[in-house]
Chains A and B, each alone.
Chain A
Amino acid sequence: MKRKAKSMMFVFLLAILATGIAAQAETLSWNAVTTYTDGTSIGSVTVTYQAYWSTSSALTNLNSLGSSTTSTSVTFNIDTAAMPRGSAIYFTSRSTVNGAASALATPLSWTVPTVPTKTPSAPANLRMN
């Protein structure tokens, strides 16, 4: 059986959700994989995506950011993911079809915001003294 490797054309877009939303989160998104490396169409087969981040542009020591089936985005929280604020990190992703994984996508550089873009909870127990 001819084994087909998959090609991936990734276009990463980072978006910071608007202020005022309760759960401040960032979203990493990419274009869907549509062909194998030989140019033939993937068709309707299920594609699983795994997103990663690393402090190295060489993509060593990958940290998992999350996986999705068919969906072409993953939402994450900077602090929950333990990303270093103020430093550059690199995103990448790979797709898997029928157990065969693609190569890693070209890394996307992003500087982690130094200031939390999250909404504080309201002060509690307001009282007169």
Chain B
Amino acid sequence: MSRSLVHALVFLFLAGGILLSGCGGGGESTTASIPPGVASALAWDAPQTYEDNTPLDPYKDLDSYEFYVRNDPNFTENDLPMAEVAAVEDILSPDGKAYLKNLTTLFNLDNLKPFLTPGARYYISIRAVGMGGLKSGFSQPVAWDDIS
């Protein structure tokens, strides 16, 4: 099997998993399953509103994101985050003369691997933390089998 064909199959597999994660109406039992050996980063869409549906500017109203990992998808308020990243990062402008604000919407899963057991299935969920310190609910979890 050619390398390009393998990549195409992997893409289709991933796309299917992502599509699955968007279905199900937000129920906690619906998770996307990612095939082993594929996932290397976690991505998400920044919230655009508060829970009361008033607008939220993720550039100035969000402080950070917290990452939660469990062996099941039943995340609770008692869970502790395994990692945290700033919601906005400063990146150097193309001309190198200024810093630009960039929304953080990607997380390298390799950062979590030292704390996890290879071969086990894990579930990951994230929460947004507002500038006032209030945390969002848990995102819909995704399953992760790629612990090597």
Contact = CB atoms under 8 A, between A and B. Distances in A.
Given A23-B52, A116-B61, A128-B34, A123 B41 contact: no
B41 A80 contact: no
Contact of A128 (B42, B52, B126, B129): B42
B51 interface: yes
Contacts of B132: 113, 115-118
A77 B45 contact: no
B50 A118 contact: yes
Interface in A53-110: 77, 79-80
Contact of B44 (A22, A23, A124): A124
B69 interface: no
Given A19-B134, A116-B50, A118-B52, A128 B14 contact: yes
Given A116-B50, A123-B126, A129 B140 contact: no
B52 A24 contact: yes
Given A115-B131, A117-B132, A128-B142, A123 B52 contact: no
A45 interface: no
Contact of A123 (B17, B38, B55, B128): B128
Contacts of B106: 129
Contacts, number: 133
B134 A125 contact: no
Interface in B96-148: 106, 109, 124-142, 144, 146
A121 interface: yes
A2 interface: no
B62 to A, nearest CB: 6
Contacts of B42: 126-129
A43 interface: no
B88 interface: no
Nearest to A19: B134
B54 interface: yes
A123 B51 contact: no
A129 B43 contact: yes
B49 interface: yes
B22 interface: yes
Contact of B136 (A24, A25, A116, A122): A122
A116 B131 contact: yes
A116 B54 CA distance: 11
Contacts of B127: 122-123
Interface string B7-26: 00000001001100110000
